[in-house]
Amino acid sequence: MATLEAPVRPRSGLHTGPFTTEPFFDFRNEENARRMRAAIAKVRGQLGREYDLILGGKRVKTADKIKSLNPASPSEVVGIHQKAGKDQVEPAMSAALKAFESWSRTSVEERASLLFHVADLLRQRKMEFMAWLVFEVSKNWGEADADISETLDFCEFYAREALRLANAKTPVQLPGERDSLLYIPLGVGAVIPPWNFPCAIMAGMTLASIVSGNTVILKPSSDSPTIAAKFVELLEECGMPEGVVNFCPGAGASFGDAVVAHPKTRFIAFTGSREVGLHINKAAAEQAPGQIWIKRTILEMGGKDAIVVDADADIAAAVEGVAQSAFGFQGQKCSACSRAIIDERIYDKFLEQLKARVEKIKVGDPAENAPMAAVINEGAMKTILDYIEQGKKDGRLITGGERMKELGEGYFVQPTVIADIPPKSKLEQEEIFGPVLAVIKARGFDHALQIANDTEFGLTGAVYTNSRDKIERAIAEFHVGNLYINRKCTGAMVGAHPFGGFNMSGTDSKSGGPDYLCLFTQAKSVGEKIG
């Protein structure tokens, strides 16, 4: 068995050192900026190409297509993809089942070395992958860097975790027995990611599945299939056997539903909205004819994340943390701050400083590295603008509130702050998933925590305070999967901040944490009499 320190087969590139997170680029360095512009120019020249489904290593075309568009310039087609439907479910499942026979028996060292190899090549092509995110989902350079860095972190972290898990010991060895605990693969999984971390989450759920010995049917979001296609090409280039990942862009409601319902689907790894997550949970609970297991569901869903600012907090730091958390990547992170809950004693001062900070945020073309770019699609833009109209009725518009038509056809929405939003109102309770921040006045710290906890979600949260006592209270009482103190509530780092939410935010799977791979395996206990 391999250990982290002394892997059995270092020849295929098992990285032996301790895990460290991938460094980000500093784009104030002109050479880095020049290289990023060159990567963007290269990818621009590859836009509009057609990609195939990949079933058991074979390229397959369908009559229906999915067009992935640039949100900042929707007449620009980023990629044309096949659209898997019900007819592709059986071929995808047979390919995955066939590959499972050998992949599940492949040594963990070999599976881990595939991930290390992917990390090596991805690191070399990091800016090119980042450039695809600029075009496909309107990430600026820094946001794209964070997404691909996290992808690299998942490669490096899950490979090490698989090696560690393979070396697990039972806590007790009975006299006269050899007692062991083996974490064996589950079977074929459906991997269903969202578009907002279209490389990191898509790759993270896929890599965790396959390094554990499973095979998958990967159905990327229809808003971001191109980056997924690029990643699967990279897996193939690194020697992934045919059928281990079957690449199937398709509609959630037809292909996705059919894969979830299939009797041979053993697990579903999903990240996305509360509505779709609950739907999958229910569908997965049904026993299909011929199904001999309870399907495992790993479901990470939405958030209504809050930052609480106490009366004694450093207001400037809190303003900065709220602005970054609320408007980074246009507020389209599951961890984004969508509620700022402010003590009434500093409320006006906080709002004044926040308004000034937010009005400095420039919105524009992500290819030019604008701090804020376009929201994902027209439907999302309309929903966001509807929420803003509702917010204008329920509260007081401080800044923003409009679509930015002056930037052309792209889906640009101003960073928007609406104050005096009452607890329990629509804007205070529902996930908007756009650049809209509701500010809520609290009578004191108790009241602030009560408001913060009073939604059905429980993903991220932050507290700004200088009081140790209040920090301890937040740790004990603020009911979220990822809590931050005196810092922003976005930007979880693999290994340091295992990620996953409570309540309707999901099954608290803690991606990037030491328990994550257990979800993709089943533990077999063996007690062997010896002597």
Query: What does each C-alpha distance from 155 to 14, 148, 151, 498 come to in angstroms?
Result: 11, 11, 6, 15
Cβ pair 295, 266 in contact under 8 A: yes
**DSSP H or E stretch at residue 485:** strand 482-485
Residue 209 interacting with ligand NAD (CB under 6 A): no
Q: In this chain, which of 161, 300, 310, 508 binds ligand NAD, going by CB under 6 A?
A: 300
Query: What does each C-alpha distance from 484 to 13, 256, 436, 492 come to in angstroms?
Result: 36, 35, 21, 10
What are phi and psi for residue 394, nearest 5 degrees?
-85, -20
Q: How far is 255 from 89, CA to CA, in rounded Å? A: 7
Copy the structure tokens of residue 342.
């402010």
Q: In this chain, which of 253, 285, 316, 356 binds ligand NAD, going by CB under 6 A?
A: 253
User: Given the complex with ligand NAD, which of 280 and 307 has the nearer CB atom?
Assistant: 280
Catalytic residue among 334, 337, 431, 489: 334
Q: In this chain, which of 72, 78, 238, 280 binds ligand NAD, going by CB under 6 A?
A: 280
Cβ pair 133, 147 in contact under 8 A: yes
HEC per residue, 350-377: HHHHHHHHHCCCCECCHHHCCCECCCCC
- Name the DSSP class of 311: T
- Residue 223's nearest CA partner among 291, 133, 163 is 133
Residue 523 interacting with ligand NAD (CB under 6 A): no
The set of residues, in sequence order, having a beta carbon less than 8 Å from that of 423 and lying 6+ positions away, is: 440, 451, 454
Q: Which residue has the tokens 């790894």?
A: 269
Q: How far is 52 from 54, CA to CA, in rounded Å? A: 6
Q: In this chain, which of 79, 194, 364, 461 binds ligand NAD, going by CB under 6 A?
A: 194
The binding track of 424-463 with respect to ligand NAD, each residue x by CB under 6 A or -, is: -------x-x-------------------------x----
User: Given the complex with ligand NAD, which of 359 and 378 has the nearer CB atom?
Assistant: 378
User: Given the complex with ligand NAD, which of 313 and 462 has the nearer CB atom?
Assistant: 462
Residue 325 interacting with ligand NAD (CB under 6 A): no
- Report the nearest approach of ligand NAD to the CB of residue 433 (Å): 5
Residue 202 interacting with ligand NAD (CB under 6 A): no
Q: Pick the stretch among 27-35, 255-263, 413-421, 447-455 that binds ligand NAD (CB under 6 A).
A: 255-263
Residue 359: active-site member: no
Q: How far is 344 from 97, CA to CA, in rounded Å? A: 59
The binding track of 375-414 with respect to ligand NAD, each residue x by CB under 6 A or -, is: ----------------------------------------
The CB-nearest residue to ligand NAD is 252
User: Given the complex with ligand NAD, which of 46 and 453 has the nearer CB atom?
Assistant: 453
Could you tell me where the DSSP H helices lie in 166-219? 200-211
Q: How far is 139 from 145, CA to CA, in rounded Å? A: 9
- Residue 474's nearest CA partner among 341, 328, 304, 321 is 341
- Report the nearest approach of ligand NAD to the CB of residue 396 (Å): 26
User: Given the complex with ligand NAD, which of 399 and 503 has the nearer CB atom?
Assistant: 503
Q: In this chain, which of 276, 340, 358, 432 binds ligand NAD, going by CB under 6 A?
A: 276
Q: In this chain, which of 54, 137, 148, 192 binds ligand NAD, going by CB under 6 A?
A: 192
What are phi and psi for residue 325, nearest 5 degrees?
-70, -35
Q: Pick the stretch among 25-33, 125-133, 188-196, 321-329 that binds ligand NAD (CB under 6 A).
A: 188-196
DSSP assignment of 57-97, as one string? TEEE--SSEEEEEETTEEEEEEEEEE-B-GGGHHHHHHHHH
Q: Pick the stretch among 35-43, 176-184, 250-258, 308-316 that binds ligand NAD (CB under 6 A).
A: 250-258
- Report the nearest approach of ligand NAD to the CB of residue 501 (Å): 5
Q: In this chain, which of 83, 117, 264, 279 binds ligand NAD, going by CB under 6 A?
A: 279
Residue 184 interacting with ligand NAD (CB under 6 A): no
- Name the DSSP class of 212: T
- Report the nearest approach of ligand NAD to the CB of residue 211 (Å): 19
Q: Which of residues 479-518 bind ligand NAD (CB under 6 A)?
A: 499, 501, 505-506
Q: Which residues is 247 bridged to in the sheet?
A: 54, 218
Instruction: State the amino acid at position 378 in one-letter form.
Output: E
Catalytic residue among 161, 300, 428, 431: 300
- Report the nearest approach of ligand NAD to the CB of residue 7 (Å): 30
User: Given the complex with ligand NAD, which of 219 and 296 has the nearer CB atom?
Assistant: 219
Residue 519 interacting with ligand NAD (CB under 6 A): no
Q: How far is 214 from 267, CA to CA, in rounded Å? A: 10
Residue 236: active-site member: no
- C-alpha of 261 from chain center: 24
User: Given the complex with ligand NAD, which of 128 and 431 has the nearer CB atom?
Assistant: 431
Residue 295 interacting with ligand NAD (CB under 6 A): no
Q: In this chain, which of 52, 177, 179, 257 binds ligand NAD, going by CB under 6 A?
A: 257
Which stretches of 165-312 are assigned E, i.e. beta strand? 177-185, 188-192, 215-218, 245-247, 265-271, 296-300, 305-309
Residue 82 interacting with ligand NAD (CB under 6 A): no
- Report the nearest approach of ligand NAD to the CB of residue 291 (Å): 17
Q: List residues near ligand NAD by CB under 6 A.
A: 192-197, 201, 219, 221-222, 252-253, 256-257, 260, 271-273, 276, 279-280, 300-303, 334, 431, 433, 459, 499, 501, 505-506
Point out the residues that are catalytic. 300, 334
